[in-house]
Amino acid sequence: MTIDPITLAVLAGRMEQIADEMDATLFRSAFNPIIAEAHDASHGLYHADTGETLVQGKSGLPIFVGVMAFAVKAVIDKAAADGDLAEGDIYIFNDAHIGGTHLSDMRLVRPYFHEGRVFCHLASVGHWHDMGGAVPGNYNPQATEVFQEAFVLPPVKLMRGGVLQQDVVDIILRNTRLPASAQGDLNGQLNALDLGVKRLDALLAEYGAETVRAALDALSDRAEALIKAEVAALPDGRWQAEDFLDNDGISDSPLPIRVALQIKGDRLSLDFTGTADATAGPVNISRGTAEAAVYVAIKHIFSGLPANAGVMRPLSITIPDRSLLSAEFPAPTGGYTETILRMIDVIFAGFAQAAPERVVANAYGTINALSLAGHRADGRRWVMFSFYGGGHGGSAESDGLNHGNAPISTATIPPVEILEAAYPVRFTQWALRPDSAGAGTHRGGLGAVYEIELLEEHGQAFLFGERGCFAPKGAAGGGDAALNRFDYENDGARHVPPMVSKMVGIGLKRGERVRLETPGGGGYGPPAARDPARVARDVALGYVTAEAADRDYGTGWREVRA
Amino acid sequence: MTRRTMVGVDVGGTFTDVFVLDEATGAARVAKVPTTRPDQSRGFLDGIGAQVDDLGSVASVVHGTTAGTNALLERKGARIGIITTAGFRDVLEMRRRDRPRTWGLRGDFEPVVPRDLRLEVPERVLADGTLHTAVDLDAVRAAGKALLEQGCAAVAVLFVNAYANPENERAALAALRDFWPTPHVTCSSDILPEIREFERFSTTALNAYLQPEVSGYLSRLEAALRDGGFGGEFLIVQSNGGVMAVDSACRLPVRTALSGPAAGVIAAAHIAEGAGFADIITGDMGGTSFDVSLIAGGQPALAAQTSIDFGMVVRTPMIEITTIGAGGGSIAWVDKGGLLNIGPESAGSDPGPVAYGRGNTRPTVTDANIVLGRIDPDRPIGGGKLDVAAARAAIDAHVGQPLGLSTEDAAEAIIRVANARMAGAIRLVSIERGHDPARFAFMPFGGGGALHAGAMLAEVGLARAIVPRYPGVTSAMGCVIADMRQDFVQTVNAMTDSADTQALGALVQDHVDRGMRMLDAAGVAFAGRAVELALDMAYLGQTHTVAVPLPVTLRDGRVTPPERAQIATAFDAAYTATYGRLLPGGVTRILNLRTAVIGQRPKFDLAGLAPQGAGSTAPRTSRPVHVGAWVEAAIYDRLALPVGAVIPGPAVLEQPDTTILIEPGMTGTVDMHGNLILTKAEAR
């Protein structure tokens, strides 16, 4: 059946609201701060047969918008092979080679039945605090197989016909350092799925299954029409861009990521041929993750597009086999965030040549997963795990945002006071980092400096970061931002990790500090065109030092008042 | 002389509304005068003067103000400085590492205090309250003097972990007060002794930013009132829906951020209760937005914090108001994928809808209502005449042609999509919070909402709608009704099974003592006093808390401390209600303790507002109205309808401040207070 445009508009809002409400339910009830504060989770409705994303919540992690389709498809295939799918079943898994991203992300998929048939799938994904493996928090830059990263769970039934399989729960809880947190997050995800079922029941009762199905089809078609119209408005041509990861955490050599961007009429193709081969260390990603990263970049560039699979139809994506972007089991994928951030950076750099007004300069480009961990005097284990922020790129309209979150995420950072109340640490600095932004007509936003002191007798630090060797790039003539920098104190001396921004098991004693200085964003437009009064103001406020201002902008600013 | 008149004044962007109540007779009068700018006090006094001859007869003037909100939104607060812990000067600017919009990565942020006015001093308190480094008072004095030289009118002291131990902040405050020339010196542990430095610093800094401006405005108003012979109490409505004395408002202006809208919600609760409905959802439809609030069991829902704008967080209990960008001025447009959208772009009230003829050419929700005959083009709210042909042409060009619809069908489509968005906001505050909408009545106020009330019943499954007799002056009326209320918070951060309940009791005692002193000092007659207590609790490891209400027992002013078992049981009940699943064997902790001390003001009898006498149930006229198809609808003068009148749809009820649509299949009934109760015809 076809659906009238008005009912379609109404249903689009209703279904998005269901996904949003599932997000909100998990954010509020999750136990670990990575979901509760950083919103590293997502919910949506997926196609009954193909698993394609139909509707996704607005507040979930952007990267999941694309990647969950692969997770749902894996469950569809598994159910078809086993032939035992029943109403009330829920599958659970974290296997990144099947479902994308990394092993920390626990996925729950619930086939939604209507009149005895699968109408669509509901899915919930959330980043759990710890899933076993060699390193608390699972960011292990020295992993060479997934087994050193975390416990691997393939798709299995968590619920059979509405009955919880306690065996499965027991296996999961025995394989984490933080079972209470895991149990709490699991409950939250089940609550979110229950809520989705309740809301879908009401929607189908109100509008009828046929109408809702027609609306879902029409929304994908509409998304396709929208992106075609956007692409058709851009000039035809072919552009290339490249950037590098510092290293894979195992051997100290840069890893190129290359893209050739081609626009022809309303078609857009992205070819990643020339990208590094799969690596021993954990910066690999699966093909599904790579396609999802393309989606995130496209959605940032064309920010009015809806969150469904129709957007991907006019895109052709070429990913070379056995590359960094198409790794196979059991290659480690724990650091997937770094690789997809770099993919987004090169896609932006490609578009910056094709249509500079459509993009912003590169953001800081690294998640900087920094953990401090240890045991308290009474023997209890503690793990403080967080991602840290940096600057956003300048744009045609304004300077970049100071201290923003990563483009793949909408995560907020926990307050210092919450961290200090929960863990034996003291922050000695939590500040903007001068001279960290790329110069430009509109300069980048500033990165940050975080300095943390250990208050217990012994502890360890773990870092998984990037951009220590290759800086975030400017656009349209703007300058590059500062490099990521990390050091730690041992016996009165300061040390830098051999792999620059990656290291495990850094031993710390009471009073010793680690210091993380994150990149700002790239600049936009030639620095020479920046208003000297703005430069003078930057110097007066300490965003830019006088020396850096002279170097990047010339001394003209010294003649004007801030 | 006996002062027996109470006056509520709500100063809005366009009009200043006044509600005057004679406490002896219960008679009420209303006035609407233009808001004066930049000095709002002239309109304020004109409005009162329109209904009150002698200011000396007024017992209290209660003010709902947007002075604070506007200063925040327009960034017109004072030049202020902050003094903060070494290493943390950028907290206000770094926020919680968020961004303005999920998609697009564009936009930047300027904090209200620029970086060169944020100075650091040596000091440090640890999370458990231990004094790590005593504050360097010489450094504080030097910083304060530097800020004065820079022309700062106010200064705020913002120290990390001051919620756990305010000693350093208090010492710095005392040192600054010695030489700071104005009273505008504050510290974060006084304004909000609650964990989370960004939220506490932001609230305190925004408070300081507003202090010079708002206290100046309120003092000028008070002086003008006194000059006019006013000898009663001057009170200000807070965002929490309670009132405070004017000196508290000068000290805590950030608590007035939602003053006007909160007063409206308070009035709505009272009107609904008088009509026999304790559960309602209010909808205020303005030019650019639709504001929704939920009242369950007579109690408005409270939110813990809000963002006035990106990065401008105010954390203080406030009436929860959910806003979506769908107002009368919201623009309808068809996107490249062929889908009809409403807003977020709005023509506002200037230039306004196409039919106003002030230059806008893109169709709005109000234009659709005009084209469909629901608004009389010859008698619109605010006077003048409307250009129906221009509205039709705009709808045709921007919606009808792209979608292949007739003008009327396109206008209906605009209304349907706008209704769907408004219904979404109502679902958000009801269904999504676990409330069954069938229990609730919808109360539209403001000018536009009553045209959409019937649709809300159909879309969300609400039982009925109540249109108050004077929907345009609800905020002014709320000023007269609101209780006096003081909120207190203190971060506790203790495990429930080892919490020191005596210490909790002592905290409540301190809050109660301070609150009661403020009630005593206000010089206002109360019908009663009440204390509310809630703990913010969570399982260990969770960062989001649930509010766990506990009863407070007061004997001769002494608080009986709560018991651990009682707290644990209350947590399970609150958690189950919020999330469904408890965590077996989970360890719980108490993060914050919140107390509200309330002085209940006498409620006036709404019968004073009811229509008197036989009135008239005859339609004034009739005209074609499009509701699916053109039908001839009866047009009534709403204020002439007597108590008990029953009007079947289709009909349009007109009055100076709103227009009500009764759709076919619905019925409107005038209740004993003059409210119009709208129900489905068969459901009466």
A233 Cβ under 8 Å from any chain B Cβ: no
Quote the crossing angle between the two packed helices A336-354 and A287-301, to the nearest 10°. Answer: 40
CA distance B281 to A458: 55
Query: In angstroms, what separates the C-alpha of A284 from chain B's closest C-alpha?
Result: 25
Quote the crossing angle between the two packed helices A179-207 and B564-579, to the nearest 10°. Answer: 40
Residues 269..298 of A with a Cβ closer than 8 Å to B: which?
none
Intervals of chain B under pLDDT 70: 1-2, 382, 580, 682-684
Residues of A in contact with B100 (CB under 8 A): 401
When CB atoms are compared, the residue of A187, A194, A405 closest to B583 is A187
A124 Cβ under 8 Å from any chain B Cβ: no
The string of DSSP codes covering A132-169 is: -SSSTTS--TT-SSGGGT-----SEEEEETTEE-HHHH
Residues 130..189 of A with a Cβ closer than 8 Å to B: which?
178, 180-181, 183-184, 187-188
Q: How many residues does chain B have?
A: 684
Query: In angstroms, what separates the C-alpha of A404 from chain B's closest C-alpha?
Result: 5
CA distance A364 to A216: 36
| Distance (Å) of CA B541 to CA B376, B502, B576 | 59, 25, 18
Residues of B in contact with A414 (CB under 8 A): 543
* Beta-ladder partners of B633: B623
When CB atoms are compared, the residue of A184, A191, A389 closest to B542 is A184
Q: Say yes or no for a CB contact (<8 Å) between A300 and B403.
A: no
When CB atoms are compared, the residue of B198, B336, B420 closest to A225 is B336
B114 Cβ under 8 Å from any chain A Cβ: yes
Q: Say yes or no for a CB contact (<8 Å) between B421 and A13.
A: yes
Q: What is the mean pLDDT of chain A?
A: 94
Neighbours of A251 (CB within 10 A): 11
CA distance B193 to B195: 7
Residues of B in contact with A410 (CB under 8 A): 98-99, 102
**Cβ-proximal residues to A393 (8 Å cutoff; 6+ apart), any chain:** A348, A360, A361, A362, A363, A400, A438, A444, A445, A472, A474, A475, A478, A521, A522, A523, A524, B105
B339 Cβ under 8 Å from any chain A Cβ: yes
Which pairing describes strands B5-11 and B58-64: parallel, antiparallel, or unpaired? parallel
Comparing alpha-carbon positions, the chain A residue that sits nearest to B415 is A6
- Phi first, then psi: give them for residue A531, nearest 5 degrees: -55, 120
B160 Cβ under 8 Å from any chain A Cβ: yes
Residues 130..159 of B with a Cβ closer than 8 Å to A: which?
132
B383 Cβ under 8 Å from any chain A Cβ: no
| Distance (Å) of CA A391 to CA A62, A519, B544 | 18, 6, 27
* Beta-ladder partners of A121: A46, A111
CA distance B434 to B575: 12
Task: Pull the structure tokens for residue B291.
Answer: 């504001």
- Number of A–B residue contacts, CB under 8 Å: 207
Q: Say yes or no for a CB contact (<8 Å) between A222 and B116.
A: no
Q: Say yes or no for a CB contact (<8 Å) between B116 and A542.
A: yes
Asked if B374 and B437 count as a contact pair (C-beta separation under 8 A), the reply is no
Query: In angstroms, what separates the C-alpha of A166 from chain B's closest C-alpha?
Result: 14
CA distance A556 to A554: 6
Asked if B416 and A6 count as a contact pair (C-beta separation under 8 A), the reply is yes
Intervals of chain A under pLDDT 70: 562
Residues of B in contact with A543 (CB under 8 A): 115
Query: In angstroms, what separates the C-alpha of A95 from chain B's closest C-alpha?
Result: 26
- Phi first, then psi: give them for residue A130, nearest 5 degrees: -155, 135
Q: Say yes or no for a CB contact (<8 Å) between B543 and A414.
A: yes
Query: In angstroms, what separates the C-alpha of A401 from chain B's closest C-alpha?
Result: 4
CA distance B312 to B289: 20
Provide the percentage of residues in chain A whose pLDDT is more than 70: 100
At B289 the pLDDT is 84
Q: In one letter, which amino acid is A487?
A: D
**In the Cβ-directed half-sphere of A9, how many Cα atoms lie within 13 Å?**
23
Comparing alpha-carbon positions, the chain A residue that sits nearest to B402 is A5
Residues of A in contact with B583 (CB under 8 A): 180, 183-184, 187
Q: In one letter, which amino acid is B260?
A: G
Q: Say yes or no for a CB contact (<8 Å) between A12 and B543.
A: no
CA distance B301 to B279: 11
* Beta-ladder partners of A516: A450, A486
The tens digit of pLDDT for each residue in A476-486 reads: 999 999 999 99
Q: In one letter, which amino acid is B199?
A: E
At A14 the pLDDT is 87
Query: In angstroms, what separates the C-alpha of B561 from chain A's closest C-alpha?
Result: 25
Distance from the Cα of residue A268 to its chain's centroid: 23
Q: Say yes or no for a CB contact (<8 Å) between B160 and A416.
A: yes
DSSP state of B404: T
Task: Pull the structure tokens for residue B37.
Answer: 């700018």
Residues of B in contact with A188 (CB under 8 A): 579
The string of DSSP codes covering B451-474 is: GSHHHHHHHH--SEEEE-S-GGGH
Q: Say yes or no for a CB contact (<8 Å) between A415 and B417.
A: no
Q: Say yes or no for a CB contact (<8 Å) between B543 and A62.
A: no
Find the Cα–Cα–Cα–Cα dihedral B576, B580, B586, B589, rounded to 10°.
-50
DSSP state of B557: T
B579 Cβ under 8 Å from any chain A Cβ: yes
CA distance B546 to A80: 42
CA distance A77 to A95: 14
CA distance A435 to B582: 49
Residues 463..502 of A with a Cβ closer than 8 Å to B: which?
none
At B2 the pLDDT is 65
Q: Say yes or no for a CB contact (<8 Å) between B109 and A427.
A: no
At B684 the pLDDT is 44
B398 Cβ under 8 Å from any chain A Cβ: no
Query: In angstroms, what separates the C-alpha of B538 from chain A's closest C-alpha?
Result: 9
* ∠ Cα A238 A243 A249 (to 5°): 145
Asked if B622 and B631 count as a contact pair (C-beta separation under 8 A), the reply is no
Residues of B in contact with A417 (CB under 8 A): 127, 160-161, 163, 195-197
Name all contacts of A493-496 with Cβ < 8 Å and 24+ positions apart. Answer: none
B223 Cβ under 8 Å from any chain A Cβ: no
Query: In angstroms, what separates the C-alpha of A364 from chain B's closest C-alpha?
Result: 12
Comparing alpha-carbon positions, the chain A residue that sits nearest to B420 is A10
**Cβ-proximal residues to A487 (8 Å cutoff; 6+ apart), any chain:** A494, A495, A496, A514, A515
